[in-house]
């Protein structure tokens, strides 16, 4: 159910106090759900992503008032079967959307730039896709498993006067990190707008 039509859907439901509502609607708060169901509805907020379809998802979950530790553990375990699950404070569920839920689309667009370049240079489409995808998979594992910081990992790939630094210089000139920050902030702002809430920073 999309956030824009959630209110009408919830109004049509009959919710009992003993039930646990698991919501995966972006930006929608527990208070909104209670306002359209029952005042003491018990809710777990979840923000998954599409790689769940391959068992490689990353889901953020927030335990709201009235949810027991045991109930929350079951929800965590359920989503962990399709990847990983992380507990997030309820008041940060809109901010996390850009990091795990929307980020696959951002990464796909980034990947498209590399693959478009490969095509323009006459490289085989399939080979370029497989090599770049594996580079992303390997880089992700380096971030989670190597013990090195992001900055250290960048330095490991970069030789003075080498090809990587030449490319990094272009990314820095384009202020890539600032663009990513604007991207994430726009994503978060939209989550607040969908909920009719005011963002406070």
For the residues 18-42, what does the mean pLDDT come to? Answer: 93
- Side by side, the strands of the sheet bearing 57-63 are 20-23, 42-47, 57-63, 83-87
Question: Per DSSP, what are the bridge partners of residue 86?
Answer: 60
Closest CA relative to residue 196, chosen from 1, 62, 7, 38: 7
For the residues 104-111, what does the mean pLDDT come to? Answer: 98
pLDDT at 1 over 90: no
How is the chain split among helix, strand and coil, in percent rounded to 5? 60, 10, 30
pLDDT at 186 over 90: yes
User: Rounded to an integer, what is the distance from CA 14 to the centroid of its chain?
Assistant: 31
Cα distance between residue 2 and residue 25, in whole Å: 6
Q: Supply the pLDDT for residue 21.
A: 95
Reported as a single tens digit per residue, the pLDDT across 57-80 is: 999 999 999 999 999 999 999 999
Q: What are phi and psi of 108, to 5 degrees?
A: -65, -40
Q: Supply the pLDDT for residue 3.
A: 65
Which helix (H) or strand (E) segment holds residue 46: the answer is strand 42-47
DSSP H helices, 21-162, are 30-35, 69-80, 103-120, 125-145, 150-157
Reported as a single tens digit per residue, the pLDDT across 124-154 is: 999 999 999 999 999 999 999 999 999 999 9
Name all domains of the chain by residue range, CATH numbers in brackets. 3-94 (3.40.50.720), 103-188 (1.10.3730.10)
Q: Supply the pLDDT for residue 201.
A: 67
Cα distance between residue 189 and residue 27, in whole Å: 9
For the residues 108-113, what does the mean pLDDT come to? Answer: 98
Reported as a single tens digit per residue, the pLDDT across 74-101 is: 999 999 999 999 999 999 999 999 999 9
Closest CA relative to residue 20, chosen from 64, 83, 85, 80: 64
Residue 60 exposed, middle or buried by CB count within 10 Å (0-12, 13-18, 19+): buried
Q: Supply the pLDDT for residue 147.
A: 98
DSSP H helices, 90-124, are 103-120
Q: Supply the pLDDT for residue 157.
A: 97
Q: Supply the pLDDT for residue 110.
A: 98
pTM of the predicted protein model: 0.91
Given a contact cutoff of 8 angstroms between Cβ atoms, the answer to whether 77 and 88 are in contact is no
Tokens 């929608």 found at: 28
């Amino acid at each position: 159910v999309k956030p824009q039509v959630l209110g009408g859907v919830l109004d049509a439901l009959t919710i009992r106090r003993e039930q646990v509502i698991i919501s995966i609607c972006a930006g929608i708060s527990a208070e909104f759900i209670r306002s359209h169901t029952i005042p003491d509805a018990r809710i777990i907020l979840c923000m998954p992503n599409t790689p769940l379809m391959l068992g490689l998802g990353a889901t953020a979950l927030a335990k709201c008032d009235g949810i027991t530790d045991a109930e929350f553990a079951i929800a965590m375990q359920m989503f962990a079967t399709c990847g990983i699950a992380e507990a997030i404070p309820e008041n940060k569920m809109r901010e996390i959307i850009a990091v795990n839920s929307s980020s696959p689309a951002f990464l796909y667009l980034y990947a498209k730039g590399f693959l478009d370049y490969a095509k323009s240079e006459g490289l085989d489409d399939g080979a370029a896709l497989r090599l770049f995808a594996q580079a992303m998979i390997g880089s992700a594992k380096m971030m989670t498993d190597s013990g090195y910081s992001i900055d250290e990992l960048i330095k490991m790939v970069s030789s003075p006067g080498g090809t990587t630094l030449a490319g990094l210089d272009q990314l820095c000139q384009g202020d890539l990190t600032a663009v990513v920050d604007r991207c994430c902030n726009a994503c978060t702002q939209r989550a607040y707008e969908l909920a009719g809430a005011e963002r406070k920073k």
